[in-house]
Amino acid sequence: MSKPLPNEEQLIKQLLELSDDPLSFVLFAFPWGQPGPLQDKKPRKWQVRALKKMRDHMRSNRAKSALELSPELFRMARASGRGIGKSAFLAWVALWLFSTVMGSTTIVSANTESQLKDTTFPEIKKWASMSMNSHWFEYQAMSIKPASWLVQLLRQSTQLDESYWYIQARLWSEENPDAFAGPHSQLGMAVLFDEASGISTNIWPVAQGYFTDKTLHRIWIAISNPRNPTGEFFNCFHVNRDQWDRENIDARSVEENDAQIYQDIIDRHGADSDEARVEVYGMFPRHGDKQFIGRGTVEEAIERAIERDAGAPLLMGVDPARFGDDAAEIVFRQGRDWTVHEGISLPKGSIVQLANVIAREIEDRNPDAVFIEGDGVGGGLIDILKDRRYKIIEVSMGGKPDDKDDYADHRTECWDRMKDALPYSSISRDSELHDDLSGPTYDYSNNGKLKLESTRDMKKRGLASPNKASAFAVTFARPVARRDRPASRAHSRRQFAEGVDYAVLG
C-alpha cells in the first residue's frame, strides 16, 4: 500500500503550482534522461506544441477569471498517421489534471472496448507508475483514484471532496448514448477521446454535457488516425473547425519513427492513396466504408473550373424536407455548373410561404424545369404552385425507379445519377452541401438492389438531413431538352454523367 514521503507537502505544493502548465508538469513529473525506459527519450515536438497550446489557454482562462469573465472550454483535435505517441499524450494530460487540480474528473474513452481496455487505459497506468507522485494513485480495473492517506492529508488543510477525483475509463453504446453521461466536477473536467474517428456521432453531444460548469480547467481532446471522412471527428476539422484547436500530423515528421516503414506504405498503395493519407499523412481518406459519394470527389468538384454551357437547360430543384423541422432548400443547376445561381435555405415557415418564395424565383430566374420532391409536405406545396399555373415536375423519391433491376427506389437512382455527374461538374464552396453529398452510406437490399441510406438512419448516426444535396438530386430525375436542341432525344449514360444534355424533359 502506498504511503506519504517525508517531503510530501513540498511535492504537493510543487505540483499545485503547475495547474496552468501541463508541459512543465510532464518535464517535471517523469524521469526523462534517467536510467530506465526514458533514459534516451524526451517529449516529441508535436506533443510539446500541443502542451503549450493547453498552457496558453489555461493562463488565458486564469486572466479572464480575474476580470470576472467566463472561462472557455478548450477543444483540441489531432489527426495523425500511425505511431506518433497519441495514447502517451492523453496519459500525460490525464495525470497532469489529476495531480495539479485536486478534486478534478477525467473521463477517457476510445473507439472500441478493446482499444480502451488493452491500449489507452494501460498506457495511463504505465505513465502513472513512472510519475514522481506514483504513490498517490490507487488503481482499479477501469479507474485511478487518490490514495486514502492523501485524501486524509489534504483534508487537514482543505475542504476536499474526493467523490469526483478520479481518472475513469468509460465505455459507450451507440444504442444507449445517455449511459455515457456522468457526474460533473466543479474543480476541473477533462474528456479524452482516443481513436476518436471511431466514436459514434451521438456520443459527442453527451460528452459535451460534462462541461456545463464554468471551471477554469475544462478540456476536451479528440485524437485519432483520421479513418472516417464523416462524423464528429471529421467535423472538428471541417464544419466545426472554428471551435477546435486542430492539427494534422504527418507521422514521418515525428522523431524516432522509422521513415522507411511509412515509405513502404506509400510505395505499396500509392502516394495519393487513402492508405497513405490515413496511415502516414494524418489526412482524412477520400472514401469511407460504404460512403456513397467520396469526399475526394466532392473536393475535386469544388476546385473544378468549367466553361459555362449556355445551351444547357437551367434547372431548379426544391427539397421541402420537413418544413419547420429541417430547412427547405432551393437550388439551381445549368448542365455541369451547380453554381449558376446561389441557393436559398428556408429553415422556418409554412408551405404557403415556401410556395411564395419558389414562385418569385421562377419569375426571376425563368428556369426550363422546376423539380420538387413530392413526398410528404411536398405534395401540398406542388398543389399550391400548380393552382397558380406554374409547371412543376413532381419527383417521388420513395417511388419506383426507372431502372427496377439496379435500384431499390427512385431516390437511390437520382443520387446515383448525381454521383455520376459530379466528376464533370463544378460546385460551390458550401460546407453544408459538401457534408450533405458525402454523408449518406449505401447498402444492398435482400434482392441485391442498391439502396441509399435513409435520412432517418443518418439522423440516428447524428448527421443532418442532406437537404441541399437532395435538392440537387431531384434535378436528375428525368431528362430535359437543351435550350439549343429543342427536340429531345435519348442519350447515353456517359452523356448524362458528363452533364452534356441530360437534365430533364418536361
**Based on the domain organization, do 275 and 194 belong to the same domain?**
yes
219 lies in which domain range?
8-281
Rg for the chain, CA atoms, rounded: 28
**Based on the domain organization, do 393 and 251 belong to the same domain?**
no
* Tens digits of residue pLDDT in 434-459: 889 998 999 888 888 999 999 888 87
In angstroms, what CA-CA distances link 23 with 46, 64, 196, 229, 232?
12, 21, 23, 32, 28
Per the domain annotation, does 287 fall within a domain? no
What is the three-class DSSP state of 330?
strand
Low-confidence ranges of the chain (pLDDT < 50): 323, 487-506
**H helices of 195-284, where?**
204-208, 232-236, 259-269, 274-276
- What gap in Å lies between CA 480 and CA 487, rounded to an integer? 10
**H helices of 118-159, where?**
121-130, 148-155
Per the domain annotation, does 44 fall within a domain? yes
**Based on the domain organization, do 320 and 192 belong to the same domain?**
no
**Based on the domain organization, do 307 and 249 belong to the same domain?**
no
**Based on the domain organization, do 359 and 456 belong to the same domain?**
yes
- What gap in Å lies between CA 272 and CA 16, rounded to an integer? 48
Angle 134-144-202 (CA atoms, 0-180°, nearest 5)? 140
Sheet containing strand 74-80, strands side by side: 137-140, 143-146, 166-169, 105-110, 189-194, 218-224, 74-80, 245-249
| Domain edge (last residue) among 219, 246, 281 | 281
Q: pLDDT value at position 493?
A: 42
Per the domain annotation, does 249 fall within a domain? yes
Q: pLDDT value at position 145?
A: 96
The H-or-E segment that residue 450 falls in is strand 450-452
**Based on the domain organization, do 148 and 248 belong to the same domain?**
yes
Per the domain annotation, does 218 fall within a domain? yes
**Based on the domain organization, do 230 and 123 belong to the same domain?**
yes
- What gap in Å lies between CA 78 and CA 80, rounded to an integer? 6
Q: Which long-range contacts (CB under 8 A, 24 or more apart) does 1-4 make?
A: 1/147, 2/134, 2/135, 2/136, 2/137, 2/138, 2/147, 2/149, 3/135, 3/147, 3/149, 4/135, 4/149, 4/150, 4/153
| Domain edge (last residue) among 258, 281, 304 | 281
Number of C-beta neighbours around residue 142 at 10 A: 14
Q: Domain of 68: which CATH number?
A: 3.40.50.300
**Based on the domain organization, do 158 and 306 belong to the same domain?**
no
Q: Which of 235, 206, 209, 233 is nearest to 221 (CA)?
A: 233
Q: pLDDT value at position 208?
A: 94
Per the domain annotation, does 446 fall within a domain? yes
Burial (Cβ within 10 Å: 0-12, 13-18, ≥19) of residue 270: exposed
- As beta bridge partners, residue 108 has 169, 192
Q: Which of 156, 392, 145, 425 is nearest to 306 (CA)?
A: 425
Number of C-beta neighbours around residue 427 at 10 A: 23
**Based on the domain organization, do 360 and 325 belong to the same domain?**
yes
**Based on the domain organization, do 260 and 299 belong to the same domain?**
no
Number of domains into which the chain is organized: 2
- Could you tell me whether strands 369-373 and 314-319 are parallel, antiparallel, or unpaired per DSSP bridges? parallel
Q: pLDDT value at position 6?
A: 66
Q: pLDDT value at position 363?
A: 96
What is the three-class DSSP state of 166?
strand
Per the domain annotation, does 314 fall within a domain? yes
- Could you tell me whether strands 218-224 and 245-249 are parallel, antiparallel, or unpaired per DSSP bridges? unpaired
Per DSSP, 271 falls in state T
- What gap in Å lies between CA 375 and CA 465, rounded to an integer? 15
- What gap in Å lies between CA 371 and CA 333, rounded to an integer? 11
Using the structure block, give the residue that is written with the C-alpha cell 437520382. Answer: 414
Per the domain annotation, does 505 fall within a domain? no
**Based on the domain organization, do 195 and 307 belong to the same domain?**
no
Q: pLDDT value at position 503?
A: 40
- What gap in Å lies between CA 10 and CA 13, rounded to an integer? 5
Q: pLDDT value at position 174?
A: 85
Per the domain annotation, does 333 fall within a domain? yes
Give the distance from CA 427 to its chain's centroid: 21
| Domain edge (last residue) among 238, 255, 281 | 281
Q: Domain of 354: which CATH number?
A: 3.30.420.240
**Based on the domain organization, do 200 and 300 belong to the same domain?**
no
